[in-house]
Structure formats: C-alpha cells, structure tokens
Amino acid sequence: MLESSPSTKKHRLALSVALFVATLFAGLFGGTPKDAWGVPVFARKYKTSCQTCHTVFPRLTPIGDAFRMNGHRFPECDSSQVKEEPVLLGADAYKELFPADAVWPSDLPSSVPLALVAKMRATVWEKGAEQTSHFAGLNPWADIYLAASLGENVSIMGKYQLNGPSCQNCHNWAAVNFQVVKHTTFRVGRFQPEYFNFHQQPFFEQHELFGPQRRVGANAWNYGKDVGVEAATILAGRIRAVTGVMEGQDDFNQPFRSKNGYLRLAYKLGGMRMDGAPEEGYTARPKNWQDRALQFGVLGYMGSARLQTNNEIGEQVTVDDRFYVMGGDFNFVWDDWTLYGGAFAEKHGRPTGTDENIWAERWFGGLRYVAMPAMVPSVMFDYFNTELPGDYTYQIRPRVELLIRANVKARIDAAWTRPVGESMAFRNVQVLLDVGL
C-alpha cells in the first residue's frame, strides 16, 4: 500500500476541517446562493456526476462551458452521451415525409425534466443589527428548474421561484433554445443575455454585486435578465459572436416601440476550443476543471428607456433616455486559478429628466482558486459610479464554497461594502446551504 505524502495528508486534514465547519454551520444556520445553476436534470439525463460540467456548482469546467454554448448539449456527440432513453414522438422516417405528409418527429424525456433546489441562509454577524446573529433567512425557500431537450435541435431552460426573498434580478424566467445549424443557437424568452463571459463566475449571482444592478438616475436598466431574442455562434472553434434584440424599458407598463440591441465578440486563446471539439496539439489538463486559456470579449449596446421622473425644478416629466454601453471582459484560467473581470462605460441622454448627459462606469471581477474539488475559495470586487453627486458604491466579497456532497453546497460569505452615502465597512458574514434534487 502506498503511503500518503505529507502534503496529501495536510490537504485531507484541511478538507476534513472545512467540511466539518461547513456542516456545523449549515446545520445551525443554513443558507444558499440566490440563483444556483447546478441542474440535476442533466445528471439524470446523462447519468453522470455534476462534476462532469461543474466544480462547485454553478462554476463550470471547460467542457461545461462548451456544453452551455452548445445549447445545453454535449459538443459533437450529445446523442451518444444520453443514457436516459427518451420517449420517441414519431420515427426518423417521418423526416423524409415532412412537411407534406408528416410532422417532424421529436421526443420527450422519460422522466419529468424538473429539478428542485432547496435553499436556506442565516446571518452569523451583521453590522448595525440589534443582534450579532439572527435566523431571519433560515426560513427555507425553493426554486424549480426546467431543463429539457426536445429532439436534436430544441431545448428549454427556466426557473420558477416558489417563495423566498425578492431582488431585482431574481424574477422567474424561461427561454427556448433553437439550434438551426451546428454551433449556432437562438434563444427566445426571458433570460440572462450574454453580455460578458461570467458564466463561471457570478453571472447568475450578480444581484449580489452592486455594480451590475444599480440604476442610472431614473433608468432601471441593468445587466440582469431581460425579454427578447438572442443569436450566438462559434466560428472556427475560437470566436464567439452574440447579438440580441431586447425589450425597451418603460415606466408605464405599456408596449414600448423602441427596442434595445447589442453585439458581443469574444476570442479564446489557448485551452479547450469553445465548441469542445478536439484540436490538434491540445492536451487536456490532468483535472477536468483545469485549463490554460485567456478569453476576452467586447460589448456594444444601444438602448432606450421611457421614464417618469422630475426635472431640475421638481416638475414631473416623461422623457426618453437614449443610452449606449461600451466595454469588455476577460477570463484567464491557469490550472486551478481563475482571474476574471470586466469594465463598462455608459452614456445616458436624459436619465434625470434634464437635458444633461450622464456617464456611468461599472467595474467588476474576481479571483478564484480550486484548492480541491470540494473546496473553492474566491474573492469578488465591484464598483459603480456616475457623474451624479455622491452616486458611487463598491464592495469586496470573499467566500469559501464547499461541496458536502455532489449536490449539497455550503458557502461562507463575507462582505465589506460602501453603500451610497455611507463609509466602507465590514457588513456581514453569512452561511448558506444549497441542496439540488
């Protein structure tokens, strides 16, 4: 029998201590990230571990990111990976008779394509509270996720929140993906537009960040989920092009004639191809979450919002705020380390009801380290500022994410924040628990 090395013993001891602490806190307090993205439906469909596509969910491995960009299907060989026998809705021969004499065949999942994610959260310490710890978030809530593929070219993703805390970007959503040609997908519905490549980072948790969700003046547009249509394609395995048309903003709950449009271009240097296809000269890293790659992208966005606000003398007015967004992002992975970030500048025409143009800037990013498959420490930073007096805020959020089981995640999260009008200070420590079924 081989003896364990001293470093291996230290790692095992550290993991044991970390898991004990996480289990203790989870049992006492509970908790969860607000919008987890580990969907057990796929584990049942492909009969594989969640760790095939994730480290500590919802963080993606390189093959998991290729799976996402391929319309939630394994690149190149999805049909051969499916282990759950589907219910066929017609024979393949119907394709030759379509459309004159037959309906195009499809299939249904043999099990209900739903996943339940139960969540709890408790604050261990919070500045300004009468008590240094409380159970205000211990009352559990749950999200129901829909994830299904229909035939070879259609898939659907969605989330319905049963209860729990509300936030600006936590609302229910659902989108249908169509893959008309290889490596090109169309999304229709309410979804998170691909403004930047933060899917492995806080992309679905960005409401924890001040920068992406802050409004500029009376304009509530932000980088959260929206309603519209998006098309994305991968060229030569290394270039990602995304364009979309989204609904314009309107304070009056009326159909808005003006629509918003955006274009994102990205390039991946090194590592696994974006489409997951094999490539001459590429050798996979020893651990499936590892890569050695740099991906960077640029975004251009043009939008319009009809706002009800007050002008400089306090009169209520209705104005159209035409705004433009320019920015870029990067994602650098070197084995167990990931460094990511983005910077975006916005020019708004009339967000305050006056004729004054307002500039805004948003910066966010972070550093993550896979200490071992079940333990991932990280730190996030974001910053928001406009030309309006005193309208700036920023925060730092360190955290440790732990897998108690493959589908059970605990997280210890702290926050140093500078809200508008306040000073930078240590705000809270939370413990969170996420269980996917």
pLDDT in tens, 121-161: 787 777 775 666 666 666 777 888 888 887 778 888 888 88
Q: Which of 210-214, 279-283, 309-313 has the highest mean pLDDT?
A: 279-283
Alpha helices in 72-163 (DSSP H): 78-81, 94-97
More confident residue, 36 or 5: 5
Q: Which of 24-33, 41-50, 92-101, 230-239 has the highest mean pLDDT?
A: 230-239
Please give the pLDDT value at position 332: 94
Q: Which residue, among 230, 106, 247, 114, has the nearest Cα to 176 in the 3D structure?
A: 230
Beta strands 259-269 and 184-191 are unpaired
| CB count in 10 Å sphere of residue 127 | 11
Instruction: Compute the mean pLDDT over every residue in the chain, rounded to the nearest whole number.
Output: 79
Name the DSSP class of 286: S
Give the span between the Cα atoms of 115 and 141, in whole angstroms: 14
Statement: residue 78 has pLDDT above 90: no
Please give the pLDDT value at position 343: 94
Asked whether 35 and 41 are in contact (CB, 8 A), the reply is: no
Please give the pLDDT value at position 3: 42
Range with the lowest mean pLDDT among 206-210, 374-378, 404-408, 419-423? Answer: 206-210
Give the span between the Cα atoms of 296 and 219, in whole angstroms: 28
Name the superfamily (CATH) of residues 6-436. Answer: Porin (2.40.160.10)
More confident residue, 244 or 98: 244
Length of the chain: 437
Residue 303 — pLDDT band, cuts 50, 70, 90? very high
Statement: residue 201 has pLDDT above 80: no
Domain ranges of the chain: 6-436
pLDDT in tens, 231-284: 999 999 999 999 999 988 776 656 666 889 999 999 999 999 988 888 888 888
Residue 110 — pLDDT band, cuts 50, 70, 90? confident
Instruction: Indicate whether this model's pTM tops 0.85.
Output: no
Structure-token pair, residue 177: 């993906």
Q: b vs e for 368-402, b when ≥16 Cβ sit within 10 Å of the residue's Cβ?
A: bebebbbbbbbebbbbbbbebeebbbbbbbbbbbb
